[in-house]
Chains A and B, each alone.
Chain A
Amino acid sequence: MMHFLLLFSRQGKLRLQKWFLPLPERERKKIVKDMTTMVLARKPRTCNFLHWKDLKIVYKRYASLYFCCALENQDNELLALEILHRYVELLDKYFGNVCELDIIFNFEKAYFILDELLMGGEIQETSKLSIVKSIEASDMLQETMEEYISKPAF
């Protein structure tokens, strides 16, 4: 299972953090710091895998954002790259040509989409179409049509 998934910018600013294990706040902050330091220090043409404690860290850079996740020993790193890619595709489909600003201003949506793709560190749906449909339907449920179209609920 995946232990955590982080999104951070090239300056090390956190844009999303999903934890699949209960860890104290202080521990989480430390891990985020370690990950950003390690990943940002990597040279451009190196492989996307790192070893950290007893976990495999898989990271990939998409434009100005780094997607970074931690796997257990028996997990498949190459497949993790595909999972990260799938998430980016979903974000792209939802926001239309997604960029970092979209994720900054709509972070809650990014979480909702992630929660349709992963649960408890495992993939819950392999069909892109299915996830997109669920998100659209959930969005529909939010508030009245008026508020949904013209102004955000919050």
Chain B
Amino acid sequence: MPAPIRLRELIRTIRTARTQAEEREMIQKECAAIRSSFREEDNTYRCRNVAKLLYMHMLGYPAHFGQLECLKLIASQKFTDKRIGYLGAMLLLDERQDVHLLMTNCIKNDLNHSTQYVQGLALCTLGCMGSSEMCRDLAGEVEKLLKTSNSYLRKKAALCAVHVIRKVPELMEMFLPATKNLLSEKNHGVLHTSVVLLTEMCERSPDMLSHFRKLVPQLVRILKNLIMSGYSPEHDVSGISDPFLQVRILRLLRILGKGDDDSSEAMNDILAQVATNTETSKNVGNAILYETVLTIMDIKSESGLRVLAINILGRFLLNNDKNIRYVALTSLLKTVQTDHNAVQRHRSTIVDCLKDLDVSIKRRAMELSFALVNGNNIRGMMKELLYFLDSCDPDFKADCASGIFLAAEKYAPSKRWHIDTIMRVLTTAGSYVRDDSVPNLIQLITNSVEMHAYTVQRLYKALLDDISQQPLVQVASWCIGEYGDLLVSGQCEEEEPIQVSEDEVLDVLEGLLVSNLSTPVTRGYSLTAIMKLSTRFSSLNRIKKVVSIYGSSIDVELQQRAVEYNALFKKYDHMRPALLERMPIMEKTIFSGDGIFTVCLWSVFPVLQANDLLDLLGGNDVVPIIQTTVPTKPASAGGELLDLLGDLSLTVIPPMTAYNKNGLIIEFTFERSNPNPNIAVITIHATNSTEADMTEFVFQAAVPKVCSFPSCILINLLFMSWCIGT
């Protein structure tokens, strides 16, 4: 059998392949050769074959049949074999493989090998991917090596110990004695890995943390030496002595100083020194400054030091290097809660970062800007944020729009400003706003009573421009439906009232119904809006016609609405004005998922109405499914309503069962409220007596005309008795 081809030869050959298929063929051929070579148990070429296998593995081909061969290589006496064997183990034999544990014995032997490079290989493999069992078995060996005087092995043992602790935290205690004089080492490698080990122990155990607090003076001294010492060629990076070690020490100091006055006091000076003396022209200096700032902000530093830290971040923001600007924004975001005023001083620089070309920087700047908005700067900030919304990438628009809505809600200086801001967002980023913004906005608009005319006018004008942005269109249709009368009567005070006729308004709404751009939800909104205008406009016939046309719409939702509205025109015309009245101010109630439950009181009274009620409910069905965000839904209440309410003040109405079908029982009980007898309390009990869950139970109530705005009816939905798995 000829000698298997060399690794470099194979690599060269594979690279000549011009297609994926050609490459696959070459690889398959070679894999077959390697497999037969493995079967022959050939010691000489095993190393070569495994090396080739590792190359093919990197290209993405399966190499599992080489796993056992790696073990054999590790067990070999030749250093070359071990080197490739351990590499193969690290690439192919992670702890999920069955053969992983078989390595334990080999590693144990190699940890005690006479050659330090073999020991190093074993430590490295154990420290990179040793499983918990392996770590448990070999922790003793690692601990022994942690105490050796050989710095090459000591540094590796320290990191291996870190891995062991990560895998088996209970073994931490075991390494405690060995840490005693780790910091008195001169060798930077050992020093660095020791600091990493100490950091890991302190992070995991509060006891260790208090134990190691006494090391703070020593750490401070080491750091000081690094800064003050002259040029050391071995550890120098752009004029700074061992920045890796400096950063690690700063990080350990952060953990030790957090929440502890004495330790924080002890490190104040050195932190100030590092912060002021570090060279900032290169990335390495800034890396140290960055870590210093993080430490200052986390420990109990004096205020002068904190201000120094924030100013460093402020300087970072002006740096040409994008990485540094990014890091500054991220850090400021972390500190904005605790040091709000200090960060506010850099607000203009932060806002300038919104115009940066880098996407990551823009996102950070946006988040930070929202965190900085307050009552004082809202107007200025909002201008910048709206400008940003106009020009930013689509990925940002949703988050930015939500942020703007939240900020506007919290700090709006006036209702007019609030509504203008919302309008601006809807018109510029209308298609990106989240679904729950629509009911929130509707609620906001309803509650800004004096702005109704202005709002509906602006929304109407926006609709004339553009009907593609669904949230805008939905809010606009709702408003026109509610306040259409204000629109045509030209009552706006805030700005020049526009002249628009009823027909023009209906044209726009009907346009929405037929447009391809409108989603089914939007169509529902506009149909309902048209219906509402039947009590506000005089062109009843036109509206009746539209409603009846949609009675045969293919869209089931639209069809249902149209049919029910039709019924309102025909059978229940006497109720129509009451049902389609202006909405009262809404209490904002938040439910899981569905936005606002719009509330119209649905008074069900006995006397005649039972049958009609059942008809409307559709007989066999349980309560029909209705969109919760659309306010109007005709419900049944008799013309006798007024009379009955009048009667309430004199008589007591006995309890009644309003509905009892298919296991759903709805009962009404009536009583006088106890301090104030002019208040009637109607309690509705809905019970599910079947074994199955009833889903999509929608509660809606319509306000009759007598219960108009000032004397509104309060509804207390007692959910405890309500949980039917909706």
A interface residue numbers (CB < 8 A to B) = 14-17, 19-20, 22-24, 29, 45-51, 74, 76-79, 81-83, 104-105, 107-108, 111-112, 115, 119-120, 122-130, 134, 137-138, 141-143, 152-154
Contacts and interface: CB of A to CB of B under 8 A. Distances in A.
A92 to B, nearest CB: 15
B159 A119 contact: yes
B321 to A, nearest CB: 8
27 contacts: A14-B58, A14-B60, A22-B94, A46-B360, A76-B287, A77-B323, A78-B290, A79-B244, A79-B247, A79-B287, A81-B283, A81-B287, A82-B284, A108-B51, A119-B156, A124-B155, A124-B159, A125-B188, A126-B188, A127-B235, A129-B234, A130-B189, A130-B234, A138-B83, A141-B117, A152-B6, A154-B51
Given A82-B284, A122-B159, 9 more contacts: A19-B129, A104-B15, A115-B124, A119-B159, A122-B162, A125-B155, A126-B235, A138-B117, A152-B6
A76 B95 CA distance: 29
Interface stretch (B101-109, B324-332, B494-502, B685-693): B324-332
B6 A82 contact: no
A12 to B, nearest CB: 11
Q: Most chain-A CB neighbours within 10 Å: which of B55, B59, B128, B152?
A: B128
Interface of B: 6-8, 11-12, 15, 47-48, 51-52, 54-55, 58-60, 78-80, 83-84, 87, 91, 94-96, 115, 117, 120, 123-124, 127-129, 131, 152, 155-156, 159-160, 162-163, 166, 188-189, 192-193, 196, 234-235, 237, 242-245, 247, 251, 283-284, 286-287, 290-291, 322-327, 357-361
A78 B244 contact: no
B7 A154 contact: yes
Contacts of B283: 78, 81-82
A112 B55 CA distance: 15
B255 to A, nearest CB: 10
A119 B327 contact: no
Contacts of A115: 124, 128
Contact of B162 (A49, A105, A120): A120
A6 B189 CA distance: 24
Contacts of B79: 138, 141-143
Given A22-B96, A120-B160, A126 B189 contact: yes
Contact of A17 (B58, B84, B243): B58
Kindly list the 10 A-B residue pairs having the minimum CB-CB distance in the complex, ordered from nearest: A78-B287, A154-B48, A47-B322, A125-B189, A141-B79, A79-B287, A22-B94, A120-B163, A119-B159, A142-B80
A36 B8 CA distance: 26
Contacts of B15: 104
Contact of A81 (B94, B196, B323): B323
B183 to A, nearest CB: 15
Contact of B325 (A47, A82, A127): A47
Contacts of B247: 76, 79
A29 B59 CA distance: 11
Contacts of A23: 94
A104 B11 CA distance: 8
Q: Most chain-B CB neighbours within 10 Å: which of A45, A51, A138, A153?
A: A153
B104 to A, nearest CB: 16
Nearest to A81: B283
Given A29-B60, A119-B124, A124 B189 contact: yes
A45 to B, nearest CB: 7
A142 B81 CA distance: 9
Contact of B87 (A29, A48, A108, A129): A108
A76 B290 contact: yes
A16 B59 CA distance: 10
B291 A76 contact: yes
A126 B55 contact: no
B95 A22 contact: yes
Contacts of A129: 234
A137 B117 contact: yes
B357 A107 contact: no
A124 B192 contact: yes
A15 B11 CA distance: 12
Contact of A126 (B12, B51, B244): B244
A82 B188 CA distance: 17
B160 A119 contact: yes
A34 B416 CA distance: 47
Q: Most chain-B CB neighbours within 10 Å: which of A24, A105, A112, A119?
A: A119
A48 B51 contact: no
B11 A105 contact: yes
B53 to A, nearest CB: 11
A54 to B, nearest CB: 14
Nearest to A137: B117
A153 B47 CA distance: 9
A122 B197 CA distance: 10
A127 B243 CA distance: 11
A154 B84 contact: yes
Nearest to B163: A120
Nearest to A78: B287
Contacts of B7: 152, 154
Contacts of B47: 153-154
B324 to A, nearest CB: 7
Nearest to A20: B128
B409 to A, nearest CB: 28
Contacts of A24: 96
A46 B322 CA distance: 7
Contacts of A47: 322-323, 325-326, 358, 360-361
B363 to A, nearest CB: 9
A76 B286 CA distance: 11
Contact of B358 (A46, A119, A137, A154): A46
A146 to B, nearest CB: 13
A143 B11 contact: no
B160 A78 contact: no
A74 B200 CA distance: 12
Nearest to B290: A78
B326 A142 contact: no
B50 to A, nearest CB: 8
Contacts of B156: 119, 124
Given A48-B323, A79-B287, A105 B58 contact: no
A31 B83 CA distance: 27
Nearest to B59: A14
B254 to A, nearest CB: 9
Nearest to A60: B323
Nearest to A16: B58
Contacts of A79: 243-244, 247, 287, 291
Contact of B58 (A49, A107, A128): A107
A50 B361 CA distance: 10
Contact of A125 (B55, B94, B192, B251): B192
A78 B323 contact: yes
B80 A122 contact: no
Q: Most chain-B CB neighbours within 10 Å: which of A83, A120, A122, A141?
A: A120
B80 A153 contact: yes
